């Protein structure tokens, strides 16, 4: 039997409602804050990701699904959404037409990582990119926006870890400083970090191995070595995030697994997620547009992992997805009633009332069971007697109350109770 590929999964009815719930909360907040949806292709030229994410990163080195197509073009499934959005911004002339633009996206991303709890090969992100401003208020805005989505979803107990990795010069200085500080402990570093030491020492700060953590733990943190301008920017970002109170923690050793960041970087973590504790992450990427062939442009964004948000909700509320009661299930007895039932069904649907019917001409009992399974708020029974009198028997499935009403008044009668 053919099965879904390792690290991917089907999202089935009963489960998919969780996704709709989270996606719609994110969409509401994005739109509230003036972000417009963008949908970019799932496949892109591999070079887009090499140039943006960085060729020394784990994503580019080990985790991309890449292949050459029939025209010998190097193609990759998108491992993230930022580079495609910037590519689309440039390719569609937004830089000339509108300048400052705020985009959001929701969709699947692909990384060939070792599947484990909280880490899959196809996962889903909801993210934003605000393009065309260097303002520190915007760095704060996207972090507050992220927090608003979590608040809307009723998720508490998250922590926003914040840092600044400065400009390219600051990073070069800090890399130099790190190299000097670590040089005499090189042999105590893990194998990966020994290679990071040569290629990108900053990434040593991100190593999860205790021995490496201990080596860097006492080193001066990045914000202490920033240039004046980057330092001022960081102060403004922090000032505007005071509203987060204890949910904000400055972590001077926070670095990211993607090379494109400048200045602000952040990660939102939650203790219920275990080892893979990041619900989402982001920051500023002021060099990326030029890297992709555009003019130097201020960009700031984040991506939230939808799979992980769902995991938190599942472990904090008893009933998730919240049961949505559907409108009316029509129960008909006999052929004439069935024909009338179909007419009523489409009348209800045209009025925006969710409704369904049994297709198999089953017994009254079986149809009532189907009404229950459908999760309907009402059932409406239509038999020979009802047809003759032009009425319908309406049963409130919550209270069990039953009454006969005229067919014409059905929609008016139920709509208020379905909060339409």
Query: Would you tell me which residues interact with ligand HAM (CB under 6 A)?
Result: 80-82, 111, 113, 119-120, 123, 125, 127, 129, 257-258, 278-283, 285, 301-303, 305, 307-308
Smallest distance from the beta carbon of 147 to ligand HAM, in angstroms?
15
For ligand HAM, the closer CB: 7 or 383:
7
- The residues, any chain, with a CB within 8 Å of residue 280's CB and separated by 6 or more, are 125, 127, 146, 267, 268, 302, 303, 304, 305, 308
Angle, CA of 369, 374 and 376, to the nearest 5°: 95
For ligand HAM, the closer CB: 254 or 281:
281
Nearest to 394 by CA among 412, 374, 414: 414
- The residues, any chain, with a CB within 8 Å of residue 267's CB and separated by 6 or more, are 160, 161, 254, 256, 278, 280, 281
CA–CA distances in Å: residue 405 to residues 115, 218, 242, 379: 57, 77, 58, 13
For ligand HAM, the closer CB: 298 or 341:
298
Smallest distance from the beta carbon of 277 to ligand HAM, in angstroms?
9
For ligand HAM, the closer CB: 101 or 120:
120
Smallest distance from the beta carbon of 324 to ligand HAM, in angstroms?
26
Smallest distance from the beta carbon of 118 to ligand HAM, in angstroms?
6
In Å, how far from its chain's centre is CA 130?
A: 16
For ligand HAM, the closer CB: 46 or 379:
46
Q: Which two tokens stand for residue 138?
A: 């915007």
d(CA 37, CA 297): 20
For ligand HAM, the closer CB: 18 or 340:
18
CA–CA distances in Å: residue 404 to residues 178, 357, 358, 366: 80, 19, 21, 21
Smallest distance from the beta carbon of 266 to ligand HAM, in angstroms?
9
Identify any residues that bridge with 378 across adjacent strands, giving them in sequence order.
328, 396
Smallest distance from the beta carbon of 146 to ligand HAM, in angstroms?
11
Smallest distance from the beta carbon of 100 to ligand HAM, in angstroms?
16
**Maximum Cα interatomic distance, the chain, rounded to a whole number of Å:** 95
For ligand HAM, the closer CB: 143 or 216:
143
Smallest distance from the beta carbon of 215 to ligand HAM, in angstroms?
24
Smallest distance from the beta carbon of 197 to ligand HAM, in angstroms?
23
d(CA 419, CA 12): 27
Q: Is the dihedral of CA 331, 335, 339, 342 positive or negative?
A: positive
Smallest distance from the beta carbon of 8 to ligand HAM, in angstroms?
11
For ligand HAM, the closer CB: 130 or 182:
130
**Residue number of the CB atom closest to ligand HAM:** 305
d(CA 371, CA 355): 10
For ligand HAM, the closer CB: 166 or 305:
305
For ligand HAM, the closer CB: 166 or 282:
282
């Amino acid at each position: 039997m053919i099965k879904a590929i390792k690290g991917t999964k089907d999202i089935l009815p009963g489960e998919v409602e969780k996704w709709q719930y989270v996606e719609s909360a994110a969409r509401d907040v994005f739109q509230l804050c003036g972000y417009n949806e963008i949908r970019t292709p799932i496949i892109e030229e591999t070079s887009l990701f090499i140039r943006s994410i960085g060729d020394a990163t784990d994503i580019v080195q080990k985790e991309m699904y890449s292949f050459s197509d029939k025209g010998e073009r190097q193609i990759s499934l998108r491992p993230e959404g930022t580079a495609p959005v910037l590519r689309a911004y440039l390719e569609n002339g937004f830089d000339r037409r509108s300048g400052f633009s705020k985009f959001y996206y929701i969709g699947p991303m692909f990384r060939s990582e070792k599947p484990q709890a909280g880490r899959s090969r196809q996962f889903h992100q909801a993210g934003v990119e605000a393009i065309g401003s260097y303002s520190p208020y915007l760095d704060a805005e996207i972090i507050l926006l992220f927090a608003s989505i979590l608040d809307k979803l009723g998720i508490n107990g998250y922590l926003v870890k914040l840092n600044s990795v400065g400009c390219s010069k600051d990073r070069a200085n800090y890399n130099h400083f790190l190299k000097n500080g670590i040089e005499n402990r090189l042999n105590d570093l893990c194998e990966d970090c020994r290679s990071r030491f040569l290629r990108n020492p900053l990434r040593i700060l991100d190593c999860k191995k205790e021995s490496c953590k201990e080596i860097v733990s006492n080193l001066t943190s990045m914000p202490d070595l920033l240039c004046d301008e980057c330092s001022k920017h960081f102060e403004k970002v922090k000032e505007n995030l005071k509203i987060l109170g204890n949910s904000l923690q400055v972590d001077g050793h926070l670095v990211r697994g993607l090379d494109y960041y400048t200045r602000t970087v952040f990660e939102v973590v939650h203790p219920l997620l275990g080892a893979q504790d990041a619900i989402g992450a982001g920051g500023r990427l002021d060099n990326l547009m030029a890297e992709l062939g555009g003019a130097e442009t201020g960009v700031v964004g984040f991506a939230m992992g939808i799979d992980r948000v769902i995991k938190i909700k599942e472990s904090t509320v008893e009933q998730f997805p919240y049961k949505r009661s559907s409108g009316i299930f029509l129960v008909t007895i006999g052929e004439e009633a069935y024909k009338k039932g179909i007419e009523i069904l489409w009348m209800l649907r045209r009025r925006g009332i969710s409704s369904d019917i049994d297709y198999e001409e089953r017994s009254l009992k079986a149809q009532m069971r189907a009404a229950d399974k459908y999760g309907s708020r009402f059932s409406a029974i239509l038999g020979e007697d009802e047809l003759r009198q032009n009425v319908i028997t309406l049963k409130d499935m919550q209270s069990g109350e039953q009454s006969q009403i005229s067919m014409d008044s059905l929609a008016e009668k139920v709509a208020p109770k379905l909060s339409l």
